[in-house]
Structure 1
Amino acid sequence: MINYDGLEDFDNLEDINKELQKRANLHNNKPIAEFEGLSPLQMGQLQNFPEGTSPLILNKLSEKGLEKCPLLVQVRFLIEKMKGGKEIKLTKTGALPTKLVKEIYGLGCLRNDDIEDGFSKLYKEGDVLEINLTRILLEISSLVKKKNGKLSLTKKGEKHSDDGNFILEEIMTLLFYKFNWGYYDGLGSEAIGRVNPAFSLFLLKKYGSKKRSAYFYAGLYFIAFPQIQDGDDSFRCYALRTFERYFKFMGFVTIEKESILTPADVRKTAFFDQLFSLKSK
């Protein structure tokens, strides 16, 4: 909080404004313990990541290196189907057709626990969260347009159809700032996890070399953002959304989980470390 003491010692409004600006700059650039040593300015920059300047840097990788991002591979598989003016015809409900759902699942990028454990069968898009999310992100992106129940690439999509780094940044930005992280669970506040997800990336970059409980990260997240903690399910909600779903789907973490009732243990992947760097001070 900015200190307003002593302003009465200044003779005019201009000097007061200059002093307030000086104090504001000091406050905004001061490391905060609750922010893991980041300043309010840096936390604000993370909220806009990957745009602008930030303590976290998104690196460009080779096309081979990008194959470690499961969600990106699935998105690019669909983009490939639409290159050269081709279209994907959706079902009456706006979903991908069954044949295409099975093709995507057959890539082996993301496995669905219910299908793998035999509780449900692979049939329609709605049966597989990981494929449903793929279609939604692509559909709301600037790369694709939907018309008369069909998906096709926009001019921008055609232009960047072979640029994996561009597509990755587009999909990650949509996932972080446009998609509702509570869409699949109904747990707690919609804000949990989705408020400043890049801060979670920062925490993973800092602590992820060692296997740790997802609740460890939840604790640090809610120290930084106590106002969005929402009841007893908050830690479980954060762990599920951030690690067991979206960071896992992006290939950022490996997950170990003893049972559905226990928190997952997570560790950052080599792909994550290659993709993100921390700005040197």
Structure 2
Amino acid sequence: MEGITPMLQPHTGHDSERARAFWTGLDPHDLHATLRAPLDGAAGFALPERVVDTGAAPVAQVFAAIAAALADTGARVGPDGALDADALRTVARSLGAPPDAVTSEADLMIISDVRVAAEAAGLIARRSGRAHLTPSGRAAAREETLDTVVPHLLRGWARRPIPPSNRVSDAIHASWPLTVLLLHRFGARWLPLRLYAKAVAEMTPEALRAAEREQPDAAIDTFAETYVGRHLIRFAAAFGIAEVSLGDDEDDDGDEPAIRSTPLLDALLPLVVDQADPSHAFDDWDGDAPPSVNEELAAALSEREFTSEDELQAFVEDFTNRRNTAPVDDFDGLSPEQMQRLLWSPLEPGSPIAVSQVPRVTPPSPLLFLVLDLAQALGDAGLKATAKGNLPRTYVHEAAARYRDAGWVRSDLDVPERARGEEDVGDLHVARIVARMAGLITLRSGRWRLTKRYRDTMARHGALGVYGALFEAFVRKYAWNYADLYPEFDIVQRSWGFSLLLLLRYGGEWRPPEFYADRFLRAFPLALDEAEDAYADHPWMRDPADAVRDAYTVRALERFAAFLGLVEVERGRYGRLGRLRATPALAEVVARV
């Protein structure tokens, strides 16, 4: 897509947090809340139930056309839900297009987009190979002004990625609140599409990395084309919150593809958090290249003169490449590029670490002990689950006693003598959750049972294979912030690979947990901002740095590294972690590449 891709450069996960603050103009707390629940009205956007003057939005017109095709008896659909040719002819006719111009939804993607969003919003339902309007869909379609249709469709669009689906498009779809924030902040004037693409690329390195895996030689082009097509055209323009110029309009500010917001943006997605004034973001922008969040690059550019855009682009690419591959002290010698891979694709090729799916030695892992104990109890018959879906109390008591006798218990608070159920034995509760996430056990017909995957894994690799499956589920699927009282601190889990590299490098001798927590804080200082926001209403409760250190110690060192047998620990007063060192198993499970 000519004119869009220049100046896009990959950024590290560390840089992406700074980029989000720079581009969106939101403080970290408001931005986090907006991305977590963009449409709940408490943060992000207050989506109303009814918005006047939205009937002219393209998606509203297409929904009205689809509703006409589904009236009375509905319409036949394919296995993927796509409307058949007869229904599409009716839709085309309603839209004023030649009936034979649309023979499949692929001929006019907005039809597919609106149908998918309407299904997700509960306006359309499928049954017995036909699509029908639901009562809500009929009520919305009967409104002459279609004032409720667009809010319904927007909720549906946010819930379900539009087809076709792949890793790049799904990652980009999840970033739609960032596009809306950019339109709120910068949309009053015509700006190049490539500026929006650059901003979102810097804020979502995971999407850029997905594009790199899909198209290694054309990752930036792939990202830019996917983003512009899906977000700026099929979302912002289709919902009427922006208008797009392909560069041939007389009233825009340039001759390249550009976008600006419409008044419908504030009516449909009013912002309920405060954004910083956008003016400073364009102080150094002359219309040829978006501003960089990297002050070093800005300084380097100011010292040189360029005779062409190609020369400028070559300089930027060389500068960025050298910076992204240079070791950084705060990252303990990793380069920004290595840190980005470690945060967003730690188990993929190119990561600075390699994790063994079947280690050569069995780690002294409490998690593995509990899962193997559970597997033995399940046997062929399984165990009857409680009404809540937990393990039966009798087994919990027996397993807790064996766990205590094996020496894994930190204190009686962790495994009380008279546990009332599974959730009173925290480690066992987590072990059951992780084993299910790993596909080793399943709940079927009210009984917990072993899966075929567990039996096959044990037959091929024994307990070592089971450990590998548990490790992957623990880092990829299990939420480390489950059932603790700390703020979310997502970066603690996302940086698990960095934590293991620290243990590989420094874990040969006993060290206090603060040694590792301080290095985590040095690499990810924005965690302090999250802590300050979390405790803003109770400033006397704790120091933000101490809150981050405590959360890191509990989640990364105790409940991850120690629970999986990668470190051994010595405890101090009140059972608190006093010091730790790596076990021999650590080097068998993970290695630096």
TM-score by length of 1: 0.84
- Whether the aligned pair in 2 keeps the contact of 1:115 and 1:122 (CA below 8 Å) is no
Give the aligned partner of residue 51 of structure 1: 348
Q: Does residue 173 of the first structure (1) align with residue 472 of the second (2)?
A: yes
Deviation at 1:37, TM superposition (A): 0.3
Which residue, 215, 218, 222 being the options, matches 2:514? 215
Which residue, 266, 274, 279 being the options, matches 2:588? 274
Question: Counterparts of 1:221 and 1:50 in 2: how far apart (Å)?
Answer: 20
Give the aligned partner of residue 27 of structure 1: 323
Deviation at 1:82, TM superposition (A): 5.2
- Whether the aligned pair in 2 keeps the contact of 1:181 and 1:190 (CA below 8 Å) is no
Deviation at 1:197, TM superposition (A): 1.1
Letter in 2 for 1:88: L
- Whether the aligned pair in 1 keeps the contact of 2:439 and 2:451 (CA below 8 Å) is yes
Taking only aligned residues, the RMSD between alpha carbons, in angstroms, comes to 2.8
Deviations 1:36-63, CA, capped at 9 Å, x for gaps: 000112112222323333322324433x
Please identify the structure whose Cα radius of gyration is greater: 2
Change (3 A) 1:42 1:79: farther
Letter in 2 for 1:3: L
Corresponding residue SS for 2:387: coil
Letter in 2 for 1:73: F
Which residue, 383, 386, 405 being the options, matches 1:88? 383
- Whether the aligned pair in 2 keeps the contact of 1:50 and 1:57 (CA below 8 Å) is yes
* Residues 220-229 or 107-116, more deviating: 107-116
Letter in 2 for 1:36: D
Which residue, 394, 397, 413 being the options, matches 1:99? 394
Which residue, 189, 192, 195 being the options, matches 2:488? 189
Q: Does residue 134 of the first structure (1) align with residue 431 of the second (2)?
A: yes
- Whether the aligned pair in 2 keeps the contact of 1:50 and 1:169 (CA below 8 Å) is no
Give the aligned partner of residue 565 of structure 2: 251
Deviations 1:10-35, CA, capped at 9 Å, x for gaps: 4234x444433332222221100000
* Residues 34-43 or 158-167, more deviating: 158-167
Deviations 1:87-138, CA, capped at 9 Å, x for gaps: 332111111112332443315263251258x964245211211100100111
Question: Counterparts of 1:66 and 1:261 in 2: how far apart (Å)?
Answer: 26
Deviation at 1:278, TM superposition (A): 2.3
Corresponding residue SS for 2:492: coil
Change (3 A) 1:144 1:119: closer
Which residue, 228, 235, 239 being the options, matches 2:549? 235
Identity of aligned residues (%): 25
Question: Counterparts of 1:70 and 1:31 in 2: how far apart (Å)?
Answer: 36
Question: Counterparts of 2:340 and 2:407 in 1: how far apart (Å)?
Answer: 33
Question: Counterparts of 1:247 and 1:146 in 2: how far apart (Å)?
Answer: 28
Aligned residue pairs, count: 274
- Whether the aligned pair in 1 keeps the contact of 2:342 and 2:497 (CA below 8 Å) is yes
Relative contact order, higher structure (CA 8 A, sep 6+): 1
Q: Does residue 143 of the first structure (1) align with residue 440 of the second (2)?
A: yes
Letter in 1 for 2:551: C
Change (3 A) 1:21 1:89: farther
Question: Counterparts of 1:109 and 1:138 in 2: how far apart (Å)?
Answer: 21
Q: Does residue 111 of the first structure (1) align with residue 409 of the second (2)?
A: yes
* Residues 174-183 or 243-252, more deviating: 174-183
Deviation at 1:168, TM superposition (A): 2.5
Corresponding residue SS for 1:113: coil
Letter in 2 for 1:191: D
Deviation at 1:249, TM superposition (A): 1.0
Deviations 1:186-234, CA, capped at 9 Å, x for gaps: 1233425213111111111111111111011100001000111321422
- Whether the aligned pair in 1 keeps the contact of 2:416 and 2:425 (CA below 8 Å) is no
Corresponding residue SS for 1:175: helix
- Whether the aligned pair in 2 keeps the contact of 1:3 and 1:23 (CA below 8 Å) is yes
Deviations 1:48-85, CA, capped at 9 Å, x for gaps: 323333322324433xx22522312322343455566x
Change (3 A) 1:92 1:261: closer
Question: Counterparts of 1:260 and 1:272 in 2: how far apart (Å)?
Answer: 27
- Whether the aligned pair in 1 keeps the contact of 2:416 and 2:424 (CA below 8 Å) is no
Point out where structure 2 has 5 or more consecutive residues left out of the alignment: 1-293, 532-543
Question: Counterparts of 1:109 and 1:137 in 2: how far apart (Å)?
Answer: 21
- Whether the aligned pair in 2 keeps the contact of 1:244 and 1:264 (CA below 8 Å) is no
Change (3 A) 1:217 1:11: same
Which residue, 289, 297, 322 being the options, matches 1:3? 297
- Whether the aligned pair in 2 keeps the contact of 1:71 and 1:250 (CA below 8 Å) is yes
